[in-house]
Structure 1
Amino acid sequence: MQKRYLNDDLRHLHEKFYSEFPEHPVSYSMFCKCRPFWVVKPSTKDRETCLCIKHENIQYLIEKLYQSQLITTKRIETFIGNICCDIDNKNCMYRQCDICEKREVEMNEQDLTKQVSWYKWCTRREEKVKNDSIVTVSTTVKIEETGILGHLIDEFQESLKKFCYHYFNIVHQYQALKRLKENLNDNEVVIHMDFSENFNCKYEKEIQSVHFGASQRSISLHTGLVYHQNKVLFSFCSISDCKQHNPAAIWAHVTPVLKMIKEKIGTIDTVYFVSDGPTTQYRNKQNFYLLCTYFFTIGFKVGNWNFLEAGHGKGAADGIGAAVKRTADRVVANGQDVTDAKSFMQVLKDSNTSVQLFLVEEEDVDAVNKLLPDSLKPIPQTMKIHQVFCQEHHNLKVQSRHVSCFCKKPEPCDCFGVSEFQFDKSNATNIQSDSLDQSVIGKWCIVTYDNKPYPGIIQDIDANECEVQVMHRIGENRFYWPMVHDILWYHHSNFVTLIEPPTKVGSRHYEVDKRVWKRVKDDLGI
């Protein structure tokens, strides 16, 4: 029997039942007793979370268009098929096809001046008080937009064009990676991995100051599975008290996994990595550099990193994280303490888990971090890349493309347009880019927000973030100071470079040095 969730309070449902069927009077208590066993009350854990913002926003538009009787279906796939010649063709879905490029969804006739409202998820800046001063913080909220029906249609048509690109990437990446796992050679493995949400350490009994205070500790978990010839070779979980999730930490977590692969099957020389694509973790210049350098020191010949589409990176690796956390929570409930990475690892070993466990020390992360140059130029259009691959004897050269293809593996094919990038000493940017320590407080810098560069003054520094008071943009390389200070904490990966103070242009506006600004845009691929 399929489970059903109640969407209203039982008392309201009883009143509704009584109004619709007055000839069948039933008391409230009897009404509750007659509730079928498969109709259950939802809990907060039954909510849908970690949804894709692009899917949700376009679905809100579709629902309002459907309510307004402008369209006859709510299926997004129907609209994609209506405006594209072939949903399996990259040019069509990227809106680059000469035949269907300008197609739009046909709407039923309605009064386009009618006022309507619809929901939308968006990121916006809000003012908050911190240390007796007003600062601006970034938050993601669900808002209600209002406008005329014509504006709603325009927003839907524009959103659908962008969504086609998103939809094609989702389907193509899943299908390509599925075929890859089904057709692995003897010398190839796939590693599907992801950082699990940090595990909060727990005691069997906790005093109040530990339960609510800053004494709570957490540990980092990097989980995944290794596939060989369409079978799971082993699942793994690397555990660390170091909570960094940057490229150096990633390779510190992956190194023992790669060594175990070599121990189990010594002939493996090709590794296909699969992960989601956050720019602070997997999809950035430092990770690509380590892929074409450090990776080959472990004894492999071909490295190939593939990214799932943004918002759709959930997979088997998340199940490993859930399993080990559930095991640790059960052990705590049975009377043991889990206070750090070592005790977490020990309780999992004692539970006879089949997951391979590795302990990663902070020294391991530091060792990899020392291999990174002080400055690297990013690969152009990094945010659009879904596959990066390199070979041992290519001397720091990496190749990339917008979507994955394995039709000639392990040799690279020319499908979907391959771009090449060479890491070498000349890639070190000439823009000033000192190490981030207390000495840079008060200096001007460039940071990125929503992948756009902004100048600002560094206010504070900690291990992973820098606090910057940024200017607002009014045009290309034109900035001004807002009336309310815009001060945010930016992760170090969003820090681009130190700069000289911008030059004043007119009474209120400022301009970053033109040569520096051009170099920043080139580095960011914009």
Structure 2
Amino acid sequence: MAMTNAERMKKYREKIKKDKVKYEAMKAKARARNNSIRTVLRGASLAKFRAENKMRQQKFRENKKQSLIDKPFPSSFKSRQSFGKALKKVNSSLPKCDLKKKVIIQHIAQSVGLVPKSTHKRTTLQLADKLKNDVHNFYLRDDVSYQLPGKKDTVVVQEDDGSKVTYQKRILFNNLRENYELFKEENKNVLLSRTSFAELRPPFVVPKAALAHRNCLCLYHENICLLLKSIDKYVDGKFCSSLQIFTDSLVCSTNNEECMFSSCSLCEDFFTEKVEENVSDGNAKITWSQWINENGRAEKKDFSGSVDEAREQSKCFEKLKEEASDEKIVLQVDFAENFNMKEQDEIQKAHWNSKPLSIFTAYVWSKNENFAFALPSSDITHDKFVVDAALEIILNHIKAHWNSKPLSIFTAYVWSKNENFAFALPSSDITHDKFVVDAALEIILNHIVTILPNIKVVDCFSDGAASQFKQRFHFRNLVQIANEHNIDLSWHFFATSHGKGVVDGIGGTVKRLVWSAILAGEVCRSAEDFIKIAKKKTKKVILIEITKNNIDTSKNKLESIFKTAKSIPETLKMHSVKVVDNNTLEFRYYSSCFQKKTVKY
């Protein structure tokens, strides 16, 4: 009867093993083959190979150990009688209790190596995936950390599958202890240690200490922090140990508007009771540093009100993002730092005569999809017309369903229920004026309407830049935009110096991608070149140019409308504007404030 393949191979291996030279040559050939396979493995394949190899080695060691245990030991007794006497002697010495007898026999067997010694296995409680995701999302909240806008502000993170992803760096506002207390306050039923909370911090979210040079911070908050740092050593207790503890100790509730604006009679004496009466040395001289305005006007501002504005606007922002749907979207816009167009290996004269490019960035949140926009422009005025043009482009682009042409860069981000959108609108117009803003908004809104035709409500967030957004011309234009697109439009302003967000990351990302291409030899001399390069590098950001025609169209459309613009009292204090009807605006100090002021045109 013929042998099977398995039998033939078995016979062949037995024959090879008898010839030591051939056997060693075969093993060397197998090693070389296995090593060549390992060298080409990457990512998930390499991780899988290592895991299988580890399990194979572990199984081999266990089998080897078991074979040694099962192997009979040579007898030390000359006869069965002598063995029986020794066994009887041992049994008579053992306790009569079966449990005690088992413990002693087990201990003797372990001491002579018959059975392995028992090892204590430490059990650890695994955190639920939902809790891990909640902590991860907490770190990414805009009221917990802010995103750096620079093209070099990135962190490369290796994912579980072995791939590497570049993230825009985020900086924590507070230290880990304060963030942990805030998380516990919001999630009182969650059991999580501070160590685990710190370990779950994403690698691209870093503490303040990781920043070599910090800038663009809030003037009011930093001045109070500088003061608290100096007086903490002279005040008993921990009332001045951190900014959050200090503000919490001065009010009945941080959620009460009257308390935060010093209008509550119950907590008006808290500063005297908790700070002044706990001063350890009343004769000590304290010195501290303060940021001041050298040029222009300086204004004294109520600090607790500033804290409340920042918190309330952040809460409103997060709430509206969660409520985003196909009919109600959230849009965040801002101008990125101007981009200087350079070339690799350029001569000295060219280096000192580079042309700046303005970039209007935007991000759209919706129900099913988000959109990132970067709108470059050569107009660097950053005025109201540039803003209008950028918004026009974004809306038109969403209408046109991704028919985008991505240099000032106007950035925007839109949140909806199922989908978010990131916008970067480059433009050769770097004025950043009201006409560029209008052109950018027109682009963004038209694009959104195309993708989400059922859109009815738009809540837009931005910083309070007076030359771009927080001004009477832009307020007047909001009525026009709402009427043109038949939408319920509201515009919210973040508190002073608290406007950093995802749109800054969009601007930094597209500039980094284009700059990397320039270093590799690509040429970028215009907004068209910028868009062409950026579109090769990313598909996640919608890139459309704010052209001169877009801005001119905004100027022609708005010149007559702006003649009816009215000066709004207390513009600097207003943080929420809502279009009520065809000629009416509603202003609030912050988005959830009960007090409101109405202006008719």
Q: TM-score range by the shorter chain?
A: 0.5 to 0.7
2:362 is matched with 224
1:188 is matched with 328
Do residues 382 (structure 1) and 571 (structure 2) align? yes
| TM-score normalised per structure 2 | 0.53
Residue from 165, 169, 173 that aligns with 2:313? 173
Go from structure 1 to structure 2 and tell me whether the alpha carbon gap of 1:91 and 1:43 turns closer, same or farther (over 3 Å shift): closer
Indicate conservation of the 8 Å contact 2:331/2:460, yes or no: yes
Between the aligned partners of 2:236 and 2:223, the Cα distance in structure 1 is 18
Between the aligned partners of 2:590 and 2:526, the Cα distance in structure 1 is 40
1:440 is matched with none
Between the aligned partners of 2:261 and 2:418, the Cα distance in structure 1 is 34
Go from structure 1 to structure 2 and tell me whether the alpha carbon gap of 1:139 and 1:185 turns closer, same or farther (over 3 Å shift): closer
Indicate conservation of the 8 Å contact 1:93/1:164, yes or no: yes
1:314 is matched with 500
Indicate conservation of the 8 Å contact 2:366/2:420, yes or no: yes
Indicate conservation of the 8 Å contact 1:65/1:71, yes or no: no
Superposed CA offset, 1:152-171 (max 9, x none): xxxxxx98x92211111111
Structure 2 unaligned runs (5+)? Answer: 1-207, 368-416
Deviation at 1:369, TM superposition (A): 2.6
1:416 is matched with 594
Go from structure 1 to structure 2 and tell me whether the alpha carbon gap of 1:197 and 1:404 turns closer, same or farther (over 3 Å shift): same
Alignment of 1:91-490 (within 5 A): 91-104=258-271, 105-107=274-276, 108-125=278-295, 162-211=302-351, 213=352, 215-229=353-367, 230-297=417-484, 299-370=485-556, 371-372=558-559, 373-374=562-563, 376-391=565-580, 394-405=581-592, 416-423=594-601
1:86 is matched with 253
Go from structure 1 to structure 2 and tell me whether the alpha carbon gap of 1:300 and 1:233 turns closer, same or farther (over 3 Å shift): farther
Superposed CA offset, 1:221-272 (max 9, x none): 1112111134443211101010122222111112111111111121112211
Indicate conservation of the 8 Å contact 1:93/1:165, yes or no: yes
Go from structure 1 to structure 2 and tell me whether the alpha carbon gap of 1:102 and 1:248 turns closer, same or farther (over 3 Å shift): farther
Indicate conservation of the 8 Å contact 1:388/1:398, yes or no: yes
Question: RMSD of the alignment, in Å?
Answer: 2.5
Do residues 67 (structure 1) and 244 (structure 2) align? no
Go from structure 1 to structure 2 and tell me whether the alpha carbon gap of 1:194 and 1:395 turns closer, same or farther (over 3 Å shift): same
Between the aligned partners of 2:482 and 2:344, the Cα distance in structure 1 is 41
Indicate conservation of the 8 Å contact 1:268/1:300, yes or no: no
1:12 is matched with none
Deviation at 1:116, TM superposition (A): 3.0
Superposed CA offset, 1:55-108 (max 9, x none): 111111111102345664421222222221111011110111232235424233
Between the aligned partners of 1:390 and 1:43, the Cα distance in structure 2 is 43
Higher helix share: 2
Deviation at 1:202, TM superposition (A): 1.0
1:49 is matched with 215
Higher strand share: 1
Go from structure 1 to structure 2 and tell me whether the alpha carbon gap of 1:139 and 1:287 turns closer, same or farther (over 3 Å shift): closer
Between the aligned partners of 2:261 and 2:464, the Cα distance in structure 1 is 20
AA aligned opposite 1:181: K
Structure 1 unaligned runs (5+)? Answer: 1-41, 126-137, 141-157, 406-414, 424-526
Between the aligned partners of 1:44 and 1:94, the Cα distance in structure 2 is 34
Between the aligned partners of 1:91 and 1:335, the Cα distance in structure 2 is 59
Larger radius of gyration: 2
Between the aligned partners of 1:71 and 1:52, the Cα distance in structure 2 is 27
AA aligned opposite 2:596: V
Indicate conservation of the 8 Å contact 1:225/1:232, yes or no: no
Superposed CA offset, 1:188-231 (max 9, x none): 111111111011101122111121x3x21111111121111344
AA aligned opposite 2:216: C
Deviation at 1:385, TM superposition (A): 1.0
SS in 1 for 2:337: strand
Between the aligned partners of 1:198 and 1:51, the Cα distance in structure 2 is 19
Between the aligned partners of 1:333 and 1:355, the Cα distance in structure 2 is 21
Between the aligned partners of 2:347 and 2:210, the Cα distance in structure 1 is 27
SS in 2 for 1:257: helix
Indicate conservation of the 8 Å contact 2:260/2:304, yes or no: yes
AA aligned opposite 1:121: W
Go from structure 1 to structure 2 and tell me whether the alpha carbon gap of 1:231 and 1:52 turns closer, same or farther (over 3 Å shift): farther
Between the aligned partners of 1:124 and 1:96, the Cα distance in structure 2 is 32
2:89 is matched with none
AA aligned opposite 1:359: E
Between the aligned partners of 1:119 and 1:68, the Cα distance in structure 2 is 17
Indicate conservation of the 8 Å contact 2:492/2:577, yes or no: yes
SS in 2 for 1:239: coil
Superposed CA offset, 1:452-496 (max 9, x none): xxxxxxxxxxxxxxxxxxxxxxxxxxxxxxxxxxxxxxxxxxxxx
Go from structure 1 to structure 2 and tell me whether the alpha carbon gap of 1:326 and 1:45 turns closer, same or farther (over 3 Å shift): farther
SS in 2 for 1:421: strand
Between the aligned partners of 1:66 and 1:181, the Cα distance in structure 2 is 38
Deviation at 1:375, TM superposition (A): 6.0
SS in 2 for 1:88: coil
Between the aligned partners of 2:466 and 2:269, the Cα distance in structure 1 is 32
Deviation at 1:184, TM superposition (A): 2.7
AA aligned opposite 1:122: I
Superposed CA offset, 1:373-427 (max 9, x none): 3463222211111111114xx231001111113xxxxxxxxx511211012xxxx
Go from structure 1 to structure 2 and tell me whether the alpha carbon gap of 1:69 and 1:188 turns closer, same or farther (over 3 Å shift): closer
Indicate conservation of the 8 Å contact 2:325/2:418, yes or no: no
Superposed CA offset, 1:105-150 (max 9, x none): 423345544433211111114xxxxxxxxxxxx699xxxxxxxxxx
AA aligned opposite 1:216: S
Go from structure 1 to structure 2 and tell me whether the alpha carbon gap of 1:174 and 1:346 turns closer, same or farther (over 3 Å shift): same
Deviation at 1:283, TM superposition (A): 0.9
Alignment of 1:486-501 (within 5 A): none
